[in-house]
Structure 1
Amino acid sequence: MAVAFRPPPGRRFGPLGTALLVVVLAGCAPGQEPGTTAASSASPPAASTGPTPAASGDAAPEAPDGSPAPSGNDVAPYDTTSTRDAAGSFGAAQRLGDSLEAVVTGPRPGTTGERPVRAAPGTPVQVFTLTLTNTGGTPVDAVPWSFPVAVDGGEPAPPVFDDSLGVPMETFATIAPGDSASLEVAFSAAHDADLAVRVFDNTTPDHYVEFTD
């Protein structure tokens, strides 16, 4: 609100000043304070520049340098410089480092429910189970292996979280020697898409083990 003009002490508006004041007040819209106009009191339009924040189910927002951010998992790398340490079939165990084995089973086709994360309701997805087994003699903090990536023709498929599909937002915990732990993961993809699942150790995220049909 603009600050109302006050005349110096001992000075009064003359007839002309009074008339001008009446004109100014008459120009105010109903309920509008003096010193503003209808244009300035309205909410400004949304800015047309800059990226729009992505809603649930939308593609990831642009990176700060203006290049598109990858649409899949936001932790593991997406370029072709990563090294595939091993490749195997779904359901077959693959070695991860010295003391972990991984098995990926699936896919199981599904459809998101009413409140998915990173997908719209009714989106087709493929669901997988990632199981890690500690084959060593000491506990393993398995959080770094909690972010698998699925690719379809080399392009990442966005991960989806949906409690109605049994795919909550969670990570692996510490796995004791000889124990196993499983994590449900889902990716937005057509039910007939040929997905490959890559399990990264995100402490050294340029290496992965791949599972395919």
Structure 2
Amino acid sequence: MTPDVPRPPRACPHRTRLAGTLLLVLALTGCAGGAGEETTAATTGPTGASDPAGSPSPAATTPGAAPGETAPPAANGTPTGAPSGNDVAPYDGTATRDAGARFGTSAAVAEGLEARVDGPRHATTGQRSVRAVPGTPVQVFTLTLTNTGDEPVDAVPWSFPVALAGGEPATPAFDEDLGARMETFPTLEPGGSASLEVAFSAGPEAELGVRVFDNTTPDHYVEFTD
């Protein structure tokens, strides 16, 4: 006769499931804690890469770059926003003055390309002016380019002259009534020429110098003065 062998107590299925659930919760909690630490490290990383509080960004000191910048005054002495884009290129004194010429005379601005600046003509802007409020005093000039070479010249890069008075920039103005339109020079065939009317916010007392240059390489210019 086989003696009765005591059977081990049966595990309660509810307890087994509870223990497994606790282990799973602990494991997930451990993973979440690790992820939280990594997230914290990522969001509270070194602060040395950010700019010190109060230090201006480069854009804030560049003419026409961002709101809140310090803009130079216009040639008539009235504070104004600085011109933006290519028409601020030779203002900072880093460009080289290749030559000078008088208004009404011609000067070579590139090989096979001559420029002539006539003016100034004093006027005030009308009701549809751009970059100048109506009634702003302006000086208007006629810039003429002539192809003196044997090949066609894409004259667009010479369409953006700038003007200064006493080292301060004069803001360009555009006005259909004055003929100063937002347009550029075309391609000039050999012997061909074209003219643009350009206007700058400046009173009649301002003695402007008009700088003509290739805006793709604005480190050289020819300056026309009275």
Q: TM over 0.5: same fold?
A: yes
Given candidates 176, 179, 182, the residue that maps to 2:192 is 179
Deviation at residue 63 of structure 1 after TM alignment: 2.8
Larger radius of gyration: 2
* RMSD of equivalent CA atoms: 1.9
More helix, by proportion: 2
Deviation at residue 200 of structure 1 after TM alignment: 1.2
Deviations 1:105-137 (A, max 9, x none): 000001100010000000000000000000001
Specify whether residues 66 and 125 from structure 1 end up closer, same or farther in structure 2 by C-alpha distance, changes over 3 A only.
closer
The aligned amino acid for 2:70 is P
The aligned amino acid for 2:153 is V
Instruction: Report 1:1-213 matches (<5 A).
Output: 63-64=65-66, 67-68=69-70, 71-72=82-83, 74-75=85-86, 76-213=89-226
Specify whether residues 137 and 195 from structure 1 end up closer, same or farther in structure 2 by C-alpha distance, changes over 3 A only.
same
Deviations 1:27-63 (A, max 9, x none): xxxxxxxxxxxxxxxxxxxxxxxxxxxxxxxxx9863
Deviation at residue 190 of structure 1 after TM alignment: 0.3
Gaps of 5+ in 2: 1-61, 73-81
Give distance in 1, aligned partners of 2:67 and 2:111.
38
Deviation at residue 181 of structure 1 after TM alignment: 0.4
The aligned amino acid for 1:74 is G
Deviations 1:70-129 (A, max 9, x none): 613530232111100000100111001111000000000011000100000000000000
Specify whether residues 84 and 178 from structure 1 end up closer, same or farther in structure 2 by C-alpha distance, changes over 3 A only.
same
Deviations 1:133-160 (A, max 9, x none): 0000111000000000000101110000
Deviation at residue 68 of structure 1 after TM alignment: 2.9
TM-score (norm 1): 0.68
Give distance in 1, aligned partners of 2:116 and 2:210.
11
Specify whether residues 73 and 147 from structure 1 end up closer, same or farther in structure 2 by C-alpha distance, changes over 3 A only.
farther
Specify whether residues 82 and 65 from structure 1 end up closer, same or farther in structure 2 by C-alpha distance, changes over 3 A only.
farther
Specify whether residues 123 and 86 from structure 1 end up closer, same or farther in structure 2 by C-alpha distance, changes over 3 A only.
same
Give distance in 2, aligned partners of 1:67 and 1:121.
24
Aligned residue-pair number: 154
8 A Cα contact 2:63 2:69, kept in partner: no
Deviations 1:149-175 (A, max 9, x none): 000101110000000111110000100
Alignment match, 1:31: none
SS in 1 for 2:90: coil
SS in 1 for 2:92: coil
Gaps of 5+ in 1: 1-59
